[in-house]
Structure 1
């Protein structure tokens, strides 16, 4: 399968090819039967035209050779025969050549020699629509399998007759030609040629009443949204209203292609005014409706598109007014909640949204999500951010305490698959949450022995200073209740080691954290006994002496008055 397609497109193309292969096998048998009967009749050799047909078809390998060595199919004799058939004025002869290419397109495993493309061009220019349909389908197959060079197709001038098929009025011809354009547009160097004459007819076909034509045309438009300059030309040609209307198509593939195209356009902020200019918040409403689709890839893509828009605070407020939280909560319960959690993370960053998000019970869903997706970096990172954002209000802190959010973040610490980067986010959020007394008390009660052990181990990860700092900072804020002392005591020796490293660190924030932690731990007599006359205590005295010396030296400097500083 050609590169650059998602799994669903690849599957559809494979199924399409398999179906065509079956149809062609049946047609092959019919051709054999017809020619077998014709060969028995003497009238087959009466006219020069029929004599030419018989001679030329005999020069081509039999159709069963399509399953054999490709060298027998692509030799000089075959090329000469194909050229004669393709340039004949007899449409039956042209169809013979077109059928040869169709079978070849199913079974060819190596690149088609450039010389064999000349008959293709001649067949595309045929006056017979059936010949054109057959050869255009052959070309689609060859392009999908990368058997022909996309740039060569454009260089040979094949685009013009392909685009002419748009006007044929035949749904099959339009489908094949749209598919050709889609394949050709996957090459960036070809897009400029396609953009010149292809946009307007593609937009017309995207409004076709034939679902397959509409699907292929929308797919082609999607391919044209792969670069900034082509998007700009599409928008100038009026593509946005067409794509927005296609979001409401009854065909799920059309919905997906149009939504993805709009997502690509929305990635460029200069197009936002055009995207949102359709009255009554039509685009946002359509995307919210699509977000509730039973087709998961469509709901996910709609969510991604809205997340692109959510960088605009005014659009965020509009989404909240349009009750976007309910469908987002529903998406959190699916097997792929990543897009929903990303959008919610963007919404929670805007303070005026927080009361609505809390009142809608979002934190309950986040807590459940953390417990079901303990190894997903995206979910853990964004969940931690949402929890921290929503705690900016008292109502949010209370909701966090009543949910599974804190325990979910703590359990994430134990996941063996999380990267240090994700752990850095988790510990950062936990440390921030402990700056509120209510949450600090709640977390001190919630934390388990395994989680304490994990934090102690992370505190000693000197190769990742910030992760070490965050983990140790959480420990420093734990309330030294009887239960907590029992959890910490097995780790005192290890803690003495990393605290010694902290006190020796030239970074003052590590020294200060070490001192705060020691002060907290000294509430337990067992720790005080271990500290006495230890290397850590000696280092603590050094830090104290250095601090006193620094204070004394600073006192020697006469403070400058504000007047002298500003002069």
Structure 2
């Protein structure tokens, strides 16, 4: 009926209400595949212009329309050629959750086609990755990122670029943020994300700073039971060896702590025990260092790790009458003495603390 042209003309009216309503009408047209071609001919550039409007309602409808135009390969290609990617990436930083949602979902559809990856990654300063990280802390619903396979893409990136500090650092943050839901945890386990992070540990090119980043996130991920079980089943002997080696990095206490914490959280199944047994002597050496550390958190992690390893009779036999067991008794004696001294002090009443 020729309604599209006057609708598009209203985009330039300068009236936010008229722009908002006409944009909503164009969105409805774009949702139909039979009308999408007509919208693509004259509507892409005006929609991109409205997406940069200062009016949040106009932005919402414009990004909604752009989202509909990413539903097919050919329309997505035209959008990208018209410069949609920079606009959508900038809109990820919008304060409006609907604008964030529409633009992020549109980018997710674009990222599903490998031909567009160079354009997505060509923005300077890793702007797309940084914008996605910013988005993770916003109020926008994130389940669509999981259902659209973002974690699958990240897992593959980690395997292809296991020596890239930038990719590893940003991937760690995204994986951890998306793992906050049961759906996200399941998606992480079904993807290559965990194996990708474990493989990154084996890269000789990574600095201690990046290794510290990876081990911190792996340790955090293992606080979720299903992820912990999955990682315990998939970890390899080479990766266990690497964690044991990193555990002995006394010159980098936090890296050592993180590596021991990961080992401590592994489920002591028969398979895991077989992987750990060749390293018991080395592990006893660094556990001794932990027990001698004045920092209580190191002592506590050492004790918990010893308790976990004692489930294997082979470790228990090595522990008997060893220097590690002697130090364990000393820590126990010191703790008992501290407890006795504390019992001598009556708890202060609230009134005496805050007269």
TM bucket, shorter chain: 0.7 to 0.9
1:320 lines up with 2:101 in the alignment: yes
User: Paired residue for 1:237?
Assistant: none
- Say if 2:60 and 2:98, in contact at 8 Å, map to a contact too: no
- Say if 2:56 and 2:96, in contact at 8 Å, map to a contact too: no
2-structure distance, mates of 1:331, 1:531: 54
Q: Which of 289, 293, 301 is the equivalent residue of 2:80?
A: 293
1-structure distance, mates of 2:332, 2:181: 39
1:498 lines up with 2:286 in the alignment: yes
1-structure distance, mates of 2:80, 2:350: 65
1-structure distance, mates of 2:294, 2:110: 51
1:280 lines up with 2:58 in the alignment: yes
CA 1:302–1:461 in structure 2 vs 1: closer, same or farther (change >3 Å)? farther
Q: Which of 301, 309, 315 is the equivalent residue of 1:521?
A: 309
- Say if 1:345 and 1:383, in contact at 8 Å, map to a contact too: no
1-structure distance, mates of 2:186, 2:333: 44
Q: Which of 406, 419, 425 is the equivalent residue of 2:194?
A: 406
Question: 3-state SS of the aligned residue for 2:268?
Answer: coil
2-structure distance, mates of 1:278, 1:529: 68
Is there any run of 5+ residues in structure 1 with no aligned partner, and where?
1-246, 250-254, 256-273
- Say if 1:332 and 1:369, in contact at 8 Å, map to a contact too: no
- Say if 1:275 and 1:283, in contact at 8 Å, map to a contact too: no
1:530 lines up with 2:318 in the alignment: yes
- Say if 1:284 and 1:319, in contact at 8 Å, map to a contact too: no
Cα deviations across residues 25-66 of structure 1 (Å, max 9, x unaligned)? xxxxxxxxxxxxxxxxxxxxxxxxxxxxxxxxxxxxxxxxxx
| Pairwise CA distance, 1:515 | 0.5
Match runs of 1:381-396 below 5 Å: 381-396=169-184
User: Paired residue for 1:334?
Assistant: 117
User: Paired residue for 1:36?
Assistant: none
| Pairwise CA distance, 1:403 | 1.2
CA 1:351–1:532 in structure 2 vs 1: closer, same or farther (change >3 Å)? farther
| Pairwise CA distance, 1:328 | 4.5
- Say if 2:100 and 2:140, in contact at 8 Å, map to a contact too: no
User: Paired residue for 1:226?
Assistant: none
Give the CA RMSD over aligned residues.
3.2
- Say if 1:287 and 1:306, in contact at 8 Å, map to a contact too: no
Q: Which of 251, 264, 268 is the equivalent residue of 1:476?
A: 264
User: Paired residue for 1:564?
Assistant: 352
| Pairwise CA distance, 1:321 | 2.7
1-structure distance, mates of 2:198, 2:185: 17
| Pairwise CA distance, 1:341 | 3.1
Q: Which moved more, 1:330-339 or 1:485-494?
A: 330-339
| Pairwise CA distance, 1:315 | 3.6
1:373 lines up with 2:156 in the alignment: no
2-structure distance, mates of 1:340, 1:408: 21
| Pairwise CA distance, 1:320 | 0.8
User: Paired residue for 2:206?
Assistant: 418
Q: Give the number of equivalent residue pairs.
A: 293
User: Paired residue for 2:328?
Assistant: 540
Bigger radius of gyration, 1 or 2? 1
1:460 lines up with 2:248 in the alignment: yes
* Greater relative contact order, per chain length (Cα 8 Å cut-off, separation 6+): 2
| Pairwise CA distance, 1:418 | 1.4
Q: Which of 555, 563, 566 is the equivalent residue of 2:343?
A: 555
| Pairwise CA distance, 1:327 | 2.6
Cα deviations across residues 410-437 of structure 1 (Å, max 9, x unaligned)? 1111111112111111111110111111
1-structure distance, mates of 2:350, 2:185: 42
User: Paired residue for 2:33?
Assistant: none
1-structure distance, mates of 2:127, 2:314: 49
Question: 3-state SS of the aligned residue for 2:267?
Answer: coil
User: Paired residue for 2:4?
Assistant: none
| Pairwise CA distance, 1:352 | 4.3
Match runs of 1:426-437 below 5 Å: 426-437=214-225
Q: TM-score, structure 1 length as denominator?
A: 0.47
Q: TM-score, structure 2 length as denominator?
A: 0.73
Q: Which of 125, 136, 147 is the equivalent residue of 1:359?
A: 147
Question: 3-state SS of the aligned residue for 1:463?
Answer: coil
1-structure distance, mates of 2:261, 2:146: 28
